[in-house]
Chain A
Amino acid sequence: MQEREQQLVEALADMREDEALALARAMLEGGVDPLRVLELCRAGMEIVGRRFEQGEYFLPELILGGEMLEAIGALAKPLIAQAPGGPAKKRGRVLIGTVHGDLHDIGKNIVTFMLDINGYDVRDLGIDVPAATFIDAVREFQPAVIGLSGFLTLAFDSMRDTVQAIETAGLREGRKIMIGGGQVDEAVRAHTRADAFGGNAMAAVALCRQWIGA
């Protein structure tokens, strides 16, 4: 990696937003392949994810990381001649969403971010997602893992109903369902009949690794 490339990765990883954006802009204006710039962004975000896992970074750093990625992406994408051709090294598909009745998305967004930088192909259905929407998406996206998120206690029943609906639709076989958010623990997992629960975003990544490989 060239020195300037290394600088961009480090600026991203160290949360030096202005510097990272200036470097990326200079590289793009100087004719560096936009796909290369995006690759460097990913390298920077991998360090961010690692620092988050190690307890050095917290939610605000992930949010700023996401913002920097988005800003550089917006600069780079119009310069890409052809479509990037899709991510080459995706490790498996994960469908995720906050269950019906719940509008919270912070936890879900962290999980999405962490799964994404760990190489999974994540489709995020957003918040307040009815069971029927999950089912349509499972049919169409064919995920290996389904992640149900919820912060409020009303989400316990929504998760249970969603798991049941997926099962009734004959879509549970061959897939794993994980739940997480707020109060979720083993008691809630048993209540919802999900395959596993996670207390944080790293647990979600670990479950996916275990289920669909690293």
Chain B
Amino acid sequence: MDEGNAAASERYETRRRRLLDQVALRETDRTPFVFATRFWAAAYAGITYEEQMYDAEKSAAAFEKALRLLEPDGYTPSLYIYGPTLSALDYRLMQWPGHGTDPNATFQYLDREYMAAKDYDEYLFDPTGYCLRHYLPKVAGAFEGLARMPDFASLSEWRFVGAMRAFGRPELRASLLRLLEAGERAEEAAQKSAAFVKRMASLGFPSVGGGFCKAPYDHISDFLRGSKGCMLDLFRNRDKLLEAIDKVSELLMRGVVEETRAGGTPYVFIPLHWGLDGFMSPEHFRTFYWPGLRKVLLRLIEHELIPVVLWEGDCTSRLEQIGDIPRGKAVYWFERTDLVRAKEVLGDTVCLRGNVPTSMLVAGTPDEIDAYCRMLITKVGKGGGFILDGAASVPDEARTENVLAMARSVHKYAN
């Protein structure tokens, strides 16, 4: 190993350890800064967002350029190079750059009712069958033919053999061919992402990406019922919703532990969408949101993984309720919740992350950013258990000098 490599390797290990220590609520030499974004790296490097999603080489080069500028302690390797996969799938749950939105506008999820309330029973009885034959054909063109899939669990003996004729149907065959194509694109993207992570490690940058999971309520809201449908279920289909949350909290765990471990980091990202203040009452949060999410967190922690929960919006009224997890085993990343207040309530339990305001990163000045980071580092970073980041990562439109001021602040101020 030459000197450059040895130094990079040491930097990697120091940074990796610094982050793990902060998660364990131990004070380190300084507060760490992590870098995550959707398309800021593309904007900074001068490629379009569409190019970032479709051209893995350009995407990797842009991200590397950003990492070299910011020298973060960790980064989320969210290259979003799944453009070709999304195209092959004819995916309908979102619009993405150049495909529904402007080539330089971020992707957006389409909040719609994909599963009708009357389908709860069928979903609860056989979620896999429901997904294959009803849900998937709705949410992506490539799945349309799967509506013709045999109901395997219903088949016995000679009926089983005879039912194979489903695979002779042109619609199903066409779907399977499209899925083979999507599979190849996804495999390619995964390989390129993994190669990027490996290369960045050799330059001294540890990835804090890893697994991905959801709060059960959010999964049902985002993917099945739509936000409106799910909110109405709080009144109209209370029992079914609770039953689905229970089921989904088990289903969501399948594969996450293995996938995360295979990626080589302990972190599991969980962005939260519908449990924040204002989006449901404290009673609904206690009944429908927190128990399912807590179950997911405890399961991940049991497997020695680190949930990184992004509490979007303002969650001040939830703070007292969400500390009921093992100490020093998770990261709570707050978007608009006052981190100083969060530190008072949860500082002995969980590592906090965030939360330089998005508006400040886009429309503020480096001096404002510097002062804000100083406040966070000295108040929230004190005693350990804090990772500096943007409120909801680095926004696509952030000014470079502002992002740089945030990245540099951790070297200027002691916690």
Taking beta carbons and an 8 Å cutoff, which residues of A are in contact with B?
15, 17, 57-61, 63-64, 67, 101-104, 106, 152-154, 156-157, 183-185, 187-188, 190-191, 200
* A187, B281: Cα distance in complex, Å: 30
Asked whether A191 and B101 contact (CB < 8 A) given A57-B281, A63-B231, the answer is no
Nearest residue (CB) in A for B38 is A153
Q: Is the interface of B mostly helix, strand, loop or mixed?
A: mixed
Nearest CB of B to A194, in Å: 12
Within 8 A of A (CB), among B255-280: 278-280
* A63, B95: Cα distance in complex, Å: 25
Do A153 and B362 touch across chains, with their CB atoms under 8 A apart? yes
- Which residues on A sit within 8 Å (CB–CB) of B397? 153-154, 156-157
Taking beta carbons and an 8 Å cutoff, which residues of B are in contact with A?
95, 101-102, 105-106, 108, 110-111, 227-228, 231-232, 234-236, 278-281, 284, 357-360, 362-364, 391-392, 395-397
Do B280 and A58 touch across chains, with their CB atoms under 8 A apart? yes
- Interchain CB contact (< 8 A) of B279 among A59, A67, A156: A59
* A191, B120: Cα distance in complex, Å: 46
- Interchain CB contact (< 8 A) of B106 among A58, A106, A154, A190: A154
* A104, B360: Cα distance in complex, Å: 22
- Interchain CB contact (< 8 A) of A184 among B111, B232, B236, B359: B359
Do A152 and B106 touch across chains, with their CB atoms under 8 A apart? yes
* A95, B106: Cα distance in complex, Å: 26
- Which residues on B sit within 8 Å (CB–CB) of A157? 397
Do A156 and B284 touch across chains, with their CB atoms under 8 A apart? no
* A15, B111: Cα distance in complex, Å: 24
Do A60 and B396 touch across chains, with their CB atoms under 8 A apart? no
* A104, B395: Cα distance in complex, Å: 17
Do B236 and A17 touch across chains, with their CB atoms under 8 A apart? yes
Asked whether A60 and B278 contact (CB < 8 A) given A106-B227, A156-B362, the answer is no
- Which residues on B sit within 8 Å (CB–CB) of A17? 235-236
Do A154 and B396 touch across chains, with their CB atoms under 8 A apart? yes
* A102, B395: Cα distance in complex, Å: 15
Do B231 and A183 touch across chains, with their CB atoms under 8 A apart? no
- Which residues on A sit within 8 Å (CB–CB) of B111? 106
